[in-house]
Chain A
Amino acid sequence: MPELKLPDIDYAALLPMLILFGAACVGVLIEGFVPRSVRNMVQLVLSLAAMVAALVFVIRRAGEVTAENAATIGGAIMIDNMGLFMEGALLVLGLVSLLLFGERTLERGGAFVPHAAVTVGSERDREQAVDSGATEVYPLALFSLGGMLMFVTANDLLTMFVALEVFSLPLYLMCALARRKRLLSQESALKYFLLGAYASAFFLFGVAMIYGFAKGVDFRAIHEAVRGSETSPTLLLIGLALVAIGLLFKIAAAPFHVWTPDVYQGAPTPVTAFMAACTKAAAFGALLRVLYVGFDGAKWHFTPVLGAVAVLTMLVGAVLAVTQTDLKRLLAYSSVANAGYLMVGLLGGNKDGLSSTLFYLVAYGFTVIAAFALVSLVRDADGEATHLSRWAGLGRRSPLFAGIFTFLLLAFAGIPLTSGFMAKFGVFGAAIAGDQTWLVIFGVLTSIVLAFPYLRVVVMMWLSEPGETTPSVSIPGVLTSAVLGIGTVATLLLGVLPGPLLELADQASSFIR
């Protein structure tokens, strides 16, 4: 028997992930043994502490990254500058959205129920509707976030697949936990699960194809095989296409976006915020790594195809956003369109493309979390009132919140002095520098279309008379206020003084192969 060789494990580099997974396990224990009355507080504090601790270790590692110490566990995980930036970004965005999970003042028992799978309308379902609420969502979120950290640092396709499952499975479950509109919530979870499983299968099949082509699944082997291979690239192209489908599903690019509106609408709003910010960031982090590290040699093959996908994504997102009557669905389609803009930056294919995509992810994440936080505030007796007509005249009722929402919508529309403008400017500039001007033209055309639904909401809020049915805006608790404050200030700051983050993204925009 050959001598057993254990891979080197650099625990310090993996610490952020380990902390999250460890805290999630402790969270499961807390579920079992801590009395229900204090569980929410304990879980929230634990989760926040774990994220802060993980963030501290991410920051401490920044600047210490070298080509030698980046790869660990036998090259399965690659903590390079880019991976570190994505880890930090995911932790910060996750931290902000976790505050929304903890909000309990808007609704008795919080936004979540304990049992996802109870039949809607049954006796037990009615019981749990008035229940004091579930806290399983914290460990689930921690598992998911840990999986995301692994996803963006995975250095081979199999690790990436495992990470994909680790962060997806808790998300499927979290989608089904909404306290109100249970049927929608369960439907969204099932839809997300089935389509997600389907996409995972695509991804895995693609990995198999690429293994056949490159005789390896780690990115260095793939890179070398793509560059040096004399065999026909059929396997490579099929494999890359399948892997890309798996990832494009997660970033909600058309035509793999169909789950997005349903899931965004049905999932509990805090979870929607978490998905819109973090899942998108994680999936883009992985897509960047796959395309820039593994398959950069096949650029000529994938750029036109992914360009077409980007154009389709922007068009579908923008055009369908116009027809929406539900605010959460509108934001979902806007998130689809934003995936398209992000792809424009990604396809720039240069260092600028990388850094501008990173900047965009963070800027968009803050804005979208704040937007969903605001959506969770506008409620009536049946929970959140997300139909557009219900928002008419909101500016008269509560000018402050309508003002904040207006500002966030302007950021989505990319008006200057908001982070949205800087982000769009960055990705468009990168795409032009990378000779992808046609993508920019479509990007610009769709952003005109997309401005219409945003402005319509603004006009509706400010210029319509509040009707009998206009819901009131709940006074947010400390946590939601904090989220709103952080999101809005970040949107403004990144719009006025984007320099520091741009610089950070610029420094981070290098992979180690």
Chain B
Amino acid sequence: MVDLLLWTLALPLVGAVIALVVPDAPGRIVSVVASVLTLVAVVPLGFDRPAGMWHELDIPWVPAFHLRLHLGVDGISYPLVVLTALLTVLCCAYSVWHTPAPGRGNVLGALLLVIEAGILGTFLAQDLVLFFIAFEVVLLPMAAVIAVWGGEGRRRAALKFALYTLAGSVLLLVGVVVVVVQADTADMVKLTESPTLPATTQLWVFALFALAFAIKSPLWPLHTWLPDAHTEAPTVGSVILAGVLLKMGTYGLIRVGIGVTPEGFAKAAPVLGVLAVAAIVVGSLVCLVQTELKRLIAYSSVGHMGFVLLGIATGSAVGLQAALIGNIAHGVLTGLLFFVAGAIKDRAHTGQLAELGGLRERAPWLAGILGVAALGSLGLPGLAGFWGEAFAVVAAYQRGGLLWTVLAIVAAVGAALTAAYLLRMLRRVSHGPVAPALAAAGEVRWPEAVAWAPLILLAFVLGVVPVLVVDLAAGAALISGALGR
């Protein structure tokens, strides 16, 4: 089992190298095979679930910097790991069928695999330095995906994305270095179990961590890279970006922010909560006036991640569980939304809401899937989105006090706004008379159906029995471990 952990990182990297050197067509197949193998390696990690770390691997790498190849999987990371592997498989498969200009699907596949390795590394790392390295590995391939296969403003968007997140990760680097130097260990398990840092250090180290993760998540007001990146990125890029890349921020906040600097987190939580609620409201309001499909979905991510961050900020077991579910649900639903939005844009050659309409008449299945994704995203009970949003509000309310009560109420209003803009989007795209741009729009094709089916299925399963997918106990354990003292 231990070897599996190593395989989950090695397989995508080896696949990426092979895909890069072979020609285009076989390269795409190679990337699919590699991603499927990775998924196969990832799933068994959750078969056997003892308390604490389910599986661990610990090999010294650079002892001078406390850098160890220390990987581990537990209830917090496992769902994200599986989601990452799954989305990569879907994206690679989708790319076999459709790679936007300038082609070179093998390179795209290779980059997706490198991104996957980086994200998996981030979720699996139990060593702070390793965590940072994996966090940073993701950045440039993702920028390259946007810059090469993206839309018209791709260069600017890619550079903005790269510089923004690079800025975030150097802040993270300072935090990591401070922790490692002061605690003389980079072992996250050890750091979580026995935090040795003094409270003031924790506070400002947490501030660094929070800034870094807030840029990645993204938390308002540091979200401005996201709409550009999403709008310009190719479909698969958007899916990975929204589906799992943003989760690196929230995951980092939970694992590193709360785990390593709990006292700093406890002090800064109200600020985080206010910002999260601001993100919900601002994101929703901005969505109401968006005129472009992908940009709208991108801004909706800001709002949704606001709920996740609100859950985290409450610092309660319920809030953290809400955040964990919300993370996964957002990954599934927004991934699906971007897939569908990409499909619509490919058909209509425009993403302007004003130029779309009547999709349900031309392509009822496509419109139906868009509907399911949108309804799930707005938090309809029975679909995945509901649990995360509802319980984030509940957790904030339970926290008590004037501030948190107000936050809960405002967040609930924000949830209603979410419904407003998603329904507006549905009305513009699916209903009404058939727009000229969609006159020749085809129905869902089978490669698309294959790529989307797992996500639709997950949206329902998560909506009905979230406990199957998310290990609630792990979140509770972390919170009580870090803050219970």
Contacts and interface: CB of A to CB of B under 8 A. Distances in A.
Do any CB atoms of chain A lie under 8 A from CB atoms of chain B in the complex? yes
Interface of A: 355, 410, 413, 415-417, 421-422, 425-426, 428-429, 432-433, 437, 440-441, 444-445, 447-448, 451-452, 455-456, 459, 462-463, 497-499, 502-503, 506
A413 B133 CA distance: 14
A433 B181 contact: yes
Given A432-B181, A463-B148, A415 B140 contact: yes
Contact of A444 (B136, B158, B162, B174): B174
B62 A499 contact: yes
B162 A455 contact: yes
A422 B62 contact: yes
A501 to B, nearest CB: 10
B136 A441 contact: no
Report the 7 A-B pairs with minimum CB-CB distance, sorted nearest first: A416-B133, A502-B64, A444-B170, A432-B181, A448-B167, A416-B136, A433-B181
Contacts of B167: 448
A455 B63 contact: no
Contacts of B7: none
Contact of B62 (A445, A455, A463, A498): A498
A433 B183 CA distance: 11
A90 B399 CA distance: 62
Contacts of A441: 174
A379 to B, nearest CB: 27
Contacts of B163: 448, 451-452, 455
B134 to A, nearest CB: 8
Q: Is the interface of A mostly helix, strand, loop or mixed?
A: helix
Contacts of B174: 428, 440-441, 444
Contact of A506 (B64, B129, B139, B171): B64
A417 B133 contact: yes
B170 A426 contact: no
B455 interface: no
Interface string B38-73: 000000000000000000000001111100000000
Q: Is the interface of B mostly helix, strand, loop or mixed?
A: helix
Contacts of A433: 181
Nearest to B170: A444
A459 B155 contact: yes
Interface in B208-261: none
16 contacts: A355-B64, A416-B132, A416-B136, A417-B137, A425-B129, A426-B65, A429-B177, A429-B180, A432-B182, A437-B178, A452-B163, A456-B159, A462-B144, A499-B62, A499-B64, A506-B64
A429 B181 contact: yes
B473 to A, nearest CB: 33
A503 B136 contact: no
Contacts of A455: 159, 162-163
A337 B178 CA distance: 22
Given A448-B163, A456-B159, 17 more contacts: A413-B166, A416-B133, A422-B62, A422-B65, A426-B64, A428-B177, A432-B177, A440-B177, A448-B170, A455-B159, A459-B147, A462-B148, A463-B147, A498-B62, A499-B64, A502-B64, A503-B64
B411 interface: no
B166 A448 contact: yes
Contacts of B171: 444
Contacts of A416: 132-133, 136-137
B293 to A, nearest CB: 25
B148 A429 contact: no
Interface in B127-145: 129, 132-133, 136-137, 139-140, 144
Contacts of B166: 413, 448, 451
Contact of A502 (B62, B147, B177, B180): B62
Contacts of B181: 429, 432-433
B267 to A, nearest CB: 20
B65 A429 contact: yes
B155 A463 contact: yes
B173 interface: yes
Contact of A415 (B65, B129, B136, B148): B136
Contacts of A448: 163, 166-167, 170
Interface string B376-410: 00000000000000000000000000000000000
A498 B167 CA distance: 25
A462 B62 contact: no
B168 to A, nearest CB: 9
Contacts of B136: 415-416, 421
A206 to B, nearest CB: 34
Given A444-B173, A447-B170, A425 B147 contact: no
A276 B128 CA distance: 33
B69 to A, nearest CB: 11
A97 to B, nearest CB: 27
Interface in B92-144: 129, 132-133, 136-137, 139-140, 144
Contacts of B61: 499
Contacts of A506: 64
Contacts of B182: 432
Nearest to B144: A462
Contacts of A451: 162-163, 166
Contacts of B147: 459, 462-463
A299 B116 CA distance: 48
A455 B143 CA distance: 10
Nearest to A410: B140
Nearest to B147: A463
| Most chain A CB atoms below 10 A, which of B129, B139, B167 | B167
Nearest to B173: A444
| Most chain A CB atoms below 10 A, which of B64, B147, B158, B181 | B64
A462 to B, nearest CB: 7
A399 to B, nearest CB: 10
A428 B148 contact: no
A448 B177 CA distance: 17
A352 to B, nearest CB: 9
A410 to B, nearest CB: 7
B158 A459 contact: yes
Contacts of B62: 422, 497-499, 502
A433 B155 CA distance: 40
Contacts of B140: 410, 415
A499 B177 contact: no
Contacts of A499: 61-64
Contacts of B64: 355, 426, 498-499, 502-503, 506
A425 B177 CA distance: 7
A29 to B, nearest CB: 46
Contacts of A428: 173-174, 177
Nearest to A432: B181
Contacts of B137: 416-417
A413 B139 CA distance: 13
Contacts of B173: 425, 428, 444
A462 B102 CA distance: 13
Nearest to B63: A499
Nearest to A426: B65
A433 B129 CA distance: 16
Contacts of A445: 170
Contacts of A462: 144, 147-148
Contacts of B129: 425
| Most chain B CB atoms below 10 A, which of A441, A455, A462 | A455
Interface string B172-204: 011001101110000000000000000000000
A499 B68 CA distance: 11
A422 B181 CA distance: 15
| Most chain A CB atoms below 10 A, which of B61, B158, B174 | B174
Contacts of A410: 140
Contacts of A444: 170-171, 173-174
